Amino acid sequence: MTSLNLETVSVRYGQRNAVMEFSETVRPGEWLCLIGPNGAGKSSLLRAIVGIVAFTGNIVVDGTTLRDRNSRRRAQLVAYVPQAPVMPTDMNAYEYVLLGRNPYVSHFGSETMHDNSMVDSVFDRLDLTDLAHRQLGTLSGGERQRVAIARAVAQEAPILLLDEPTSSLDIGHQQQALELVDKLRREHGLTVVSAMHDLTLAGSYADRLVLMHEGHRVVGGTAQEVLRAETLAEFYGVSVHVHHEPDGTVAVIPRRSLRS
């Protein structure tokens, strides 16, 4: 299992600071969830870890800073599922998941038998075998999300980053996708960092939540510690009722401001 250390990570887009000196340690096998209002810097932080945007500070995986790794080695350590994955309509699901093997294929080489059997087993484990030969353009939202996760799994990286994995899904598929991530995490010892808007779901799946606001890390801890009505009122500007279930689940219920 692999740890992830973020040391004063900052991301700038021109004049705008998207992430400001963010520090956090994600323990091996932990699921950390970034929460915060739109524009808080959650996605930018994930994109910095995966190497899509430039950053200052240090990102350390198992003691080695990611900057010292080449792009293929980094992709062997960190897999990423974006909020809206690009899915070429005329590519089939098998070809798409096979792209996850890119970090292991030499520049001008092609996939080996091992890569292909690896992808076969991913389809098997994720119960996606029926989708393998479907064109991506014909898949439903839930199927697309599972195929995107399958590609990240095929990457065999110990760290999995998920940007809004449930944003386009109905409540059943939201649960299905998160259960899948949780299962993979337990089976493969993955370290997971996700950004999520649904606070109740975030709180019930993640081990720890970190609240971000305008690029800063505001507060981190368990769902009980972070999901407090006063905190959410301050940083989201909402009025919510926080309900604690007997099993420890924290439900965040928005309240109407005015009733006529």
Partner 1 sequence: MSQTSQVRASSPWWIPTAVAALVLALLCGAMIGPAGPTWWRVPLELLNRLPLLTINSGVTASEWNIIWLVRMPRVVLAGLVGATLSIAGASYQGVFRNPLVDPYLLGVAAGAGLGATFVFTINRAGSSTWLVDPLPLAAFACGLGAVLITYVVGTAFGGERSSTTLVLAGVAVTSLVTAVQAFLLQRHTDVMREVYSWILGRLSTATWTDVRLVVPYVVLSSTVLLFHRRLLDVLRVGDDEATALGANVTRIRLVVVLSATLGTAAVVAVSGLIGFVGIIVPHAVRLLAGASYRVVLPLSLLFGAAFLIMADIPGRILSNPAETPIGVVTAFLGAPFFLLILRTRQASR
User: With binding defined as CB under 8 A, does residue 12 bind partner 1?
Assistant: no
Q: Which of 31, 94, 235, 236 binds partner 1 (CB under 8 A)?
A: 94
Please identify, among the stretches 125-133, 177-185, 204-212, 238-246, the one whose residues bind partner 1 according to the rule CB under 8 A: 125-133
Q: For residues 84 and 63, is the Cβ–Cβ distance under 8 A?
A: no
Interface residue with partner 1, options 105, 219, 238, 251 (CB under 8 A): 105
Find out whether 54 and 47 touch, Cβ atoms under 8 Å: no
Among 15, 38, 110, 260, binds partner 1 (CB under 8 A): 110
Structure tokens at 221: 């801890």
Contacts of 226 (CB under 8 A, 6+ apart): 35, 203, 209, 210, 211, 219, 220
Mark out the alpha helices in the chain (DSSP H runs): 42-50, 71-77, 93-98, 113-125, 141-154, 171-188, 199-205, 223-226, 229-236
Cα 75–chain centre separation = 15
In the complex, minimum distance from the CB of residue 152 to partner 1, in angstroms, rounded to a whole number: 9
Q: Judged by CB under 8 A, which stretch of 22-30, 66-74, 179-187, 230-238 contacts partner 1?
A: 66-74
Helix (H, G, I), strand (E, B), or coil: what is residue 184? helix
Q: Report the alpha-carbon distance of residue 239 to residue 212 in Å, rounded.
A: 18
Q: Kindly state whether residue 130 participates in binding partner 1, applying the rule CB under 8 A.
A: no
Q: Are strands 208-213 and 250-254 parallel, antiparallel or unpaired?
A: unpaired
Position 86 contacts partner 1 (CB under 8 A): yes
132 lines the binding site for partner 1 (CB under 8 A):
yes
Q: Which stretch binds partner 1 (CB under 8 A): 3-11, 58-66, 72-80, 210-218?
A: 72-80
CB of 136 to partner 1, least distance (A): 10
Determine the 3-state secondary structure of 110 from DSSP: coil
Query: How many residues in the shown chain lie near partner 1 by CB under 8 A?
Result: 47
Q: Which is nearer to partner 1, 10 or 155 (CB)?
A: 155
216 lies in the binding site for partner 1 (CB under 8 A): no
- Which residues lie near partner 1 (CB under 8 A)? 47, 50-52, 71-76, 78-80, 82, 85-92, 94-96, 98-100, 102-103, 105, 107-110, 113, 116-117, 119-120, 123-124, 129, 132-133, 137, 155
